[in-house]
Amino acid sequence: MSEQQEVTHTGGCHCGKVRFEVVSPKESEGIYCNCSMCTKKGIIHLIVTKDKFKLLQGEDNLSLYTFNTHIAKHYFCSTCGICPYYIARSHPNDIDVNYRCLDNFDITKIKISDFDGRNWEDQVHKIQN
């Protein structure tokens, strides 16, 4: 069996102060979550291991928001307010990249699955490895 091909993406926030690089499977799938946070942010999740993510610039421009259990670490640009990536409660050892923050993102080119984040406790096992 052959290994799945990978592709390197670049991305960042709206103002460009935060930039990153992420390596993902060429045929990766996005996750749409209907929880209160993801709905308001409009995030489409691309979850990768930490070794597949590299912050290129802007660490000093990131602010952090946490709530509830404080396990999730929601990083956002302190200039433009965009959340290009975060540490998800469901995957605390990985990086959750916002697909919408990838350069040249085309929503029609990826498969998106739904996750019922409004019922997180009962549903989280469906997205954990």
Q: Tell me, what's the pLDDT at 1?
A: 45
Q: Tell me how far apart the alpha carbons of residues 105 and 94 are, in angstroms, rounded to a whole number.
A: 21
Mean pLDDT of the chain: 90
The strand pairing partners of 113, in sequence order, are 31
| 96-122 pLDDT per residue, tens | 999 999 999 888 888 998 888 787 677
CB atoms within 10 A of CB 90: 21
Contact 33, 117 (CB under 8 A): yes
Q: Tell me, what's the pLDDT at 124?
A: 73
- In 3D space, the residue among 73, 64, 85 whose CA is nearest the CA of residue 22 turns out to be 85
Q: What is the pTM (predicted TM-score) of this model?
A: 0.87
Contact 92, 70 (CB under 8 A): no
pLDDT above 80 (res 83)? yes
- In 3D space, the residue among 22, 26, 35 whose CA is nearest the CA of residue 2 turns out to be 26
- Rg over alpha carbons for the chain, rounded to the nearest Å, is 14
Q: Tell me, what's the pLDDT at 115?
A: 82
Band the pLDDT of 129: cuts 50, 70, 90.
low
Q: What is the mean pLDDT of residues 79-99?
A: 94
